[in-house]
């Protein structure tokens, strides 16, 4: 399982009305007689009520989600009650009061993350249909990201992509995104993890799914999806993270997969984890391992191969940079990404070139963190499902949930 534990019930947005109106020249009789100039009775005609133009998503998706929800109220995710020691929060008047305050405060409102979640649902619906064997990984990533930028109305650090699109294949579990010049092509027998993020005002929606194109590894996907749902079910405020990991591992390792007549046990990946998310910071400091462990930390409120993923470290030290190119690159990173993760394709898009030496220097100086691909042994197959959860005062909101998973 290469998944973080993070997660509406519909994937297709409702049909809503736009402000524009269609012209309608038809007339109807209002049934009232009026006196004409000569005294004769005459019926007054009036136009039919104009019909509102309905908004529909395009293919590929390019209509911003704000057009579907012009009032700014986006759909809630799936609501789940807390369990065990957290159940009192559901009916607590104090917690209900805290929830009302949170909903009224524009700084902590849930609408930003819900808007990001709706973008994710619509883009991933397209991605599931669009991705086919024979496509290049580069084109798959670019298609997903163009849709994300359009639907979220990307605008500098205000709204945009939350982190690079992960397209990890087979034994690679996470953190692979094609760099410029990568010619890798998706094959019929591949197991593809699609992991992409959306942010609105720094509120990052992180969600992932796995695609296969033949039935061999269906049981693997079933196991990882079930384990993800177990983690979601167990999550709560003040829940010990080690206990969540144990529940995830137990669920996942109750499955087996048969490949070419041989049965293999499903195993949790020990060095991958779920994590908390802070504004503009994808890894917020707390991690949920996918296996049983002794971590007594309580949850709060709220590799190999060429490296593609990077992020400026939030509390990076202020150190003198001896390379002029590194100073220039850091300025570009701060302007375009801040502390949001980025990849080399995004540097290319920003107009940077011949930046590898400078980028590696920033990594060496502890200013930028690199995230190389995380891979298992060759021949292994990995899968990933991931959702974003809001730990609200009175319950959990699996904000990224859709009808697809």
Q: Note whether 76-307+384-398 and 310-370 share their fold.
A: no
Confidence of residue 85 (pLDDT cuts 50, 70, 90): confident
Q: Round to whole Å and give the CA distance between 71 and 57.
A: 18
Assess whether pLDDT exceeds 80 at residue 28: no
206 annotated to a ligand binding site? yes
Query: Residue 120, annotated ligand binder?
Result: no
Could you write out the DSSP letters of every residue in 153-174?
Answer: T-BTTTEEEEEEEEEEETTEEE
Residues facing residue 369 across a β-bridge: 311
pLDDT of residue 240: 87
> Which structure tokens are listed for 333?
């990173």
Phi, psi angle pair for 372, to nearest 5°? -65, 160
Whether 41 contacts 33, CB under 8 Å: yes
- Averaged pLDDT score across all residues of the chain: 86
Q: Is 195 annotated as a binding residue?
A: yes
> Tokens 């984890």 — which residue?
273
Return the CATH class of domain 310-370: mainly alpha
Predicted local confidence at residue 22, as pLDDT = 32
33 pLDDT exceeds 70? no
Closest CA to 236 of 280, 170, 171, 302: 302
pLDDT at 83 over 70: yes
CATH topology of domain 76-307+384-398: Creatine Amidinohydrolase (3.90.230)
In the three-class reduction of DSSP (H, G, I as helix; E, B as strand; rest coil), residue 146 is classed as: helix
Q: What is the pTM of this model?
A: 0.84
CA-to-CA distance for 196 and 139, rounded, in angstroms?
15
CA dihedral 229→231→233→237, nearest 10 degrees, is -150
SS3 label, residue 272: coil
pLDDT tens for residues 322-343? 999 999 999 999 999 999 999 9
The domain spans of the chain are 76-307+384-398, 310-370
- Known binding residue 253? Answer is no
SS3 307: coil
CA dist., res. 186 & res. 400, Å (int): 26
Is 182 annotated as a binding-site member? no
The neighbour count for residue 375, using CB atoms within 10 Å, is: 20
Q: Is 294 one of the annotated binding-site residues?
A: no
In this prediction, residue 273 carries a pLDDT of: 76
| Cα 257 from Cα 223, distance rounded (Å) | 9
pLDDT at 258 over 90: yes
Average pLDDT over residues 193-220: 97
């Amino acid at each position: 399982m290469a998944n973080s534990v993070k997660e509406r019930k519909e994937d297709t947005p409702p049909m809503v009305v736009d402000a524009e109106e269609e012209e309608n020249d038809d007339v109807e009789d209002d049934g009232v007689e009026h006196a004409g100039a000569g005294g004769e009775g005459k019926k007054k005609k009036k136009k039919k009520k104009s019909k509102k133009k309905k908004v529909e998503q395009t293919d590929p998706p390019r209509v911003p989600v704000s057009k579907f929800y012009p009032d700014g109220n986006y759909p809630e995710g799936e609501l789940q009650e807390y369990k065990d020691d957290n159940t009192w929060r559901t009916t607590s008047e104090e917690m209900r009061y805290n929830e009302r305050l949170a909903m009224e405060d524009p700084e902590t409102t849930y609408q930003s993350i819900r808007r990001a979640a709706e973008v994710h649902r619509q883009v991933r619906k397209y991605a599931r249909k669009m991705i086919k064997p024979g496509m290049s990984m580069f084109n798959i990533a670019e298609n997903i990201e163009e849709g994300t930028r359009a639907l979220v109305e990307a605008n500098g650090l205000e709204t945009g992509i939350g982190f690079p699109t992960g397209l990890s294949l087979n034994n690679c579990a996470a953190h692979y995104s094609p760099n410029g010049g990568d010619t890798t092509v998706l094959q019929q027998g591949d197991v593809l993890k699609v992991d992409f993020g959306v942010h609105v005002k720094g509120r990052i929606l992180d969600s992932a799914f796995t695609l296969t194109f033949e039935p061999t590894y269906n049981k693997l996907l079933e196991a990882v999806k079930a384990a993800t749902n177990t983690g979601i079910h167990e999550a709560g405020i003040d829940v010990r993270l080690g206990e969540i990991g144990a529940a995830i591992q137990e669920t996942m390792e109750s499955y087996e997969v048969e490949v070419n007549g041989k049965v293999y046990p499903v195993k949790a990946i020990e060095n991958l984890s779920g994590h908390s998310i802070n504004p503009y910071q994808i890894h917020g400091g707390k991690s949920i391992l996918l296996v049983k462990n002794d971590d007594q930390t309580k949850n709060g409120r709220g590799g190999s191969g060429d490296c593609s993923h990077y992020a400026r470290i939030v509390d990076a030290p202020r150190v003198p940079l001896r390379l002029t190119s590194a100073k220039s690159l850091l300025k570009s990173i701060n302007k375009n990404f801040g502390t949001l993760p980025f990849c080399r394709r995004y540097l290319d898009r920003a107009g940077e070139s011949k930046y590898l030496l400078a980028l590696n220097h920033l990594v060496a100086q502890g200013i930028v963190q690199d995230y190389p691909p995380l891979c298992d042994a060759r021949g292994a197959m990995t899968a990933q499902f991931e959702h974003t959860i809001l730990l609200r005062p009175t319950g959990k909101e699996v904000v990224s949930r859709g009808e697809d998973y």
